Structure 1
Amino acid sequence: MRFKTLLLTQPSIPHIDHIDHVDHRRRAIVRGAASVPLLATAMFVRPALADPTVTHASRRLLGTRVDMVVQGDRHGVAQAAIAVAFAEMMRLEQLMSRYRPDSQVSALHRAAGRHPVRVAPELMTVLQAAAAVSARSRGAFDITVGAFAGWRFGADGNRLPDAAELARERALVDYRQVMLDARRGEAMLARAGMRLDLGGIAKLPILDAGMQVLRRHGLANAMVNGGGDVLAMGKLQGRDWRIGVRDPLAPARLLGVLQVSDAVVASSGDYERCFVAGGRRYHHVLDPATGLPSAGPRGVTLVAPTVAAVNGLGAALMVAGQSAWDRLAGRLAGVDGLVVGDRGRWISPGMAQRLRRA
């Protein structure tokens, strides 16, 4: 799944790539910032590295690198909270992954066109959110793009499906054919062969679940960064969190810095998973109407007070374009946006006030 985001009694603690504190933290965070140059956002935590109350951890999750930075007076509590937060995010990823045969999403695929499947409340919430965004975006966002299964982007090789393959698969793409019965806790794909891709709608809720674990363990100041989607709670050393926004046209460069507290920064871009074939560039954000990469903006960054306010909107705007801003996000309280395309940038008034020079 590409999305594509405390010891209780004796839980199973996941392997964490590193939890760094005091002396070791500097090396880990600086190395991490350099090793993920294509993320849509970047962390600025170097001023806090000498603070013994600041703990950093990272691991590979949700098809990307997930970082947590926590400030708390009790280091042991922060470490335990982080471990359980990662365990909860892993549980949800396993539930919603389209690549795991034991996931509930895979169960929906196997039952497509045959019968409904009982799903966990967390998955039902994500499916309901997807239905709402799909309706509001008039199908620009559609989780049934998973039917376009012939595309390959990344380390395991690239593949461009042919026109006949895309034509066959387009018949299976229709968000209105995802049937939900919240009362029974059941979902069903109406047609055999339908497949889901929750990459644009599940990552933020999963990251938020990790943040809620930290909150339940009494931590009030934390940041979770998952592949460019950032959740910030409280402050770092009494100051707002500083989040760098990368330029989709030149990802090694920052467009500016956002200072946020108790906010979500959600970024979508076409530059992390892409390849060139026949002189043409192909990326992973697919237009549900064609099965081909979207021809809209190159990147979208949104800031909002909650995950629910922006979940799925970045992917929808990548397909629908900036002209759909008013319909999709412009009337939502507290939502600000930056849309970058080959022909220039568009920035909402609120984002213009938020964004500062790097």
Structure 2
Amino acid sequence: MGTRVNVTLWYKDAARARQLSAQVMTEMRRIDATYSPYQDSSDLSQMNRAAAKRHAADPLPISPEMSRLLDKSLYYGRLTDGAFDITYASLARYYDYRAGKQPSDAQREQLLPAIDYHHVKLDNVAHTVYYSQPQVYVDLGGIAKGYAVDRAIELLRSAGVQHASVSAGGDSRVLGDRRGRPWMVGIKQPRGAEGVAITVPLTDSAISTSGDYERYFIGAEGEWIHHIINPRTGKSSGELASVSIIGPDGFDTDALSTSVFVLGADKGLALINQLPAFDAILITRAGKVRYSNGLTAPE
């Protein structure tokens, strides 16, 4: 997943607790091996190679789990009018943040038509898929880590654990409380600043943070070029520096944090304020903090 995974849990048997922690890490590695766009052998890579060559009469069989991830992704595509779009990688995969390179204008013009979640033709009953545009490339990075922390918490809960926290980079899910007190989850200072900007108390919930400081480079004209791509333009989203979404499940908060980042502060908060189970904390590039209606700014 390209990030650090942390597990904290309480259990009456220390040896069993270590086993459960190891099982969480095994599940995380399974999800990474299945959905990584960087591993040629992953199910995702195999789907990207094959689905564009299939058609309605001969769709590609996929696993029920892949079908579930695609179905949820397409749901958020519809909910956000394309702000969340797993086909963004049709162009975004040509960014190289370590080398400081971005797609050429010619590449952008050629590949922008491939960015459209409607090109992903999923049958989530038969568990099949095909791409209706040959240059489509899917990346599940905006939703798979949230799914992974949910899977980890489900594993621990089913084993009888009542107090736990699992995080994978900007995605965290907590089970119960921290033995009488809330879990305290920090939102990082954006733009490379040290320390924590805001600390959020959580119980039985998930939080996902999307920031423009995770993978980025400074362009030739001084622009901040980062990995959260606006599907409409194929370029980095420009208004916000950090978006954190709080809700019941990481599967949803992960996708929503990306969505709100792309939508911007006003449209993003309008979306979250229509979703009763979710709240948002936004930090703009100018350093201003904005909250959804369900949250009160700390005094």
User: TM-score of the superposition, structure 2-length normalised?
Assistant: 0.92
What per-residue deviation string (whole Å, max 9, x for no partner) do you get for residues 100-158 of structure 1? 2222211221123322222122211111111111111111111001111210123xx33
Between stretches 220-229 and 115-124, larger displacement belongs to 115-124
Could you say which residue in structure 1 is the equivalent of 2:64? 121
The whole-number CA distance in structure 1 between the counterparts of 2:137 and 2:191 is 31
1:130 lines up with 2:69 in the alignment:
no
Between stretches 108-117 and 120-129, larger displacement belongs to 108-117
* Contact kept in structure 2, 1:201 and 1:311, CA below 8 Å: yes
Could you say which residue in structure 2 is the equivalent of 1:348? 292
SS of the equivalent of 1:218 reads coil
Q: 1:250 deviation in Å? A: 5.4
Gaps of 5+ in 1: 1-61
Q: Which has the higher contact order (CA 8 A, sep 6+)?
A: 1
Letter in 2 for 1:303: I
* Contact kept in structure 1, 2:100 and 2:218, CA below 8 Å: no
Q: 1:104 aligns with which of 28, 35, 43?
A: 43
Q: 1:178 deviation in Å? A: 0.4
1:209 lines up with 2:148 in the alignment:
no
The whole-number CA distance in structure 1 between the counterparts of 2:100 and 2:191 is 21
1:289 lines up with 2:232 in the alignment:
yes
Letter in 2 for 1:264: A
The whole-number CA distance in structure 1 between the counterparts of 2:129 and 2:193 is 39
What per-residue deviation string (whole Å, max 9, x for no partner) do you get for residues 287-310 of structure 1? 111111111311101111223442
Gaps of 5+ in 2: none
Cα distance change on mapping 1:262 and 1:81 into 2, 3 Å = same
1:1-358 counterparts in 2 under 5 A? 62-115=1-54, 116-148=59-91, 149-154=93-98, 157-249=99-191, 251-278=193-220, 279-325=222-268, 327-343=270-286, 344-352=288-296
SS of the equivalent of 2:233 reads coil
CA RMSD of aligned residues (A): 1.7
Letter in 2 for 1:347: Y
Letter in 1 for 2:48: H
SS of the equivalent of 2:209 reads strand
Could you say which residue in structure 2 is the equivalent of 1:42? none
The whole-number CA distance in structure 1 between the counterparts of 2:115 and 2:132 is 11
Q: 1:249 deviation in Å? A: 4.3
User: TM-score of the superposition, structure 1-length normalised?
Assistant: 0.77
Between stretches 128-137 and 157-166, larger displacement belongs to 157-166
The whole-number CA distance in structure 2 between the counterparts of 1:250 and 1:95 is 31
